[in-house]
Amino acid sequence: MSTSSDTPPEDDTNGKEHLNNNVNGNLNSDVRRHRLATDSKLRAYEAKRRLAYESKLQSSSLYWHAFRTLMHDSLLETQKANLLMRGWTNASKNYGESLMSVGEWCIDEKGTPVTEAKKKKKIFEVQEKSHVSSTGDSAQSMFPNQSRITLTSTDFYREENCGSIIQSLAGSAVDVAEKYEGMVEYMTSEVIPALSSLLDHLKVKSL
């Protein structure tokens, strides 16, 4: 007669396998959920990062465009200013030389100031002769044709024939001419070199 102690133990392999499968399934499910959560966080972070950098990129693009526009306008304005000052200086130089010729009585028959050195030298020689001669012979030698004798004849150069108002006007022309000469010197030595230096600097920065 057999007893209960003789009964063989029941095989529990299937139960353990089932338990293991459940545990593994739960672990895999947790890993998948964790991966999905991490992936979602990464996607959200990437979206925010792209949005932030896109805004920064747009701002940088706007700043760069504004900088290039500013440099272009600065270069253009400096070029114009440089040309303007050079033109102004040349015009002032010519005007000053013309006024100086007027003050020195170097004027041709048409009333045009004579600024050419050789022609002025001849006029100065005639003026010098006019101070020595007391007759109108020098006037005739300068203008043989009587009909061509004008206010620029040697008789006109004589101080005794010129009133104080005329002399004052001539002196005023010389004074103004000297002021123009001073301005031309300042423009040539100070303003134009500074503009040229700035222009060269802007050209390098705009490359």
CA distance 196 to 203: 11
Give me the half-sphere count of Cα atoms (radius 13 Å) on the Cβ side of residue 114. Answer: 16
Q: With contact defined as beta carbons under 8 Å apart, do 113 and 96 qualify? A: no
Structural domain boundaries of the chain? 92-205
Q: Which of 73, 78, 80, 77 is nearest to 200 (CA)?
A: 78
Q: What is the pLDDT of residue 189?
A: 95
Q: What is the pTM of this model?
A: 0.56
* Average pLDDT score over the chain: 77
Taking only the tens place, the pLDDT of each residue in 139-197 is: 444 444 433 334 444 455 555 555 678 888 889 999 999 999 999 999 999 999 999 99
Q: What is the pLDDT of residue 58?
A: 81
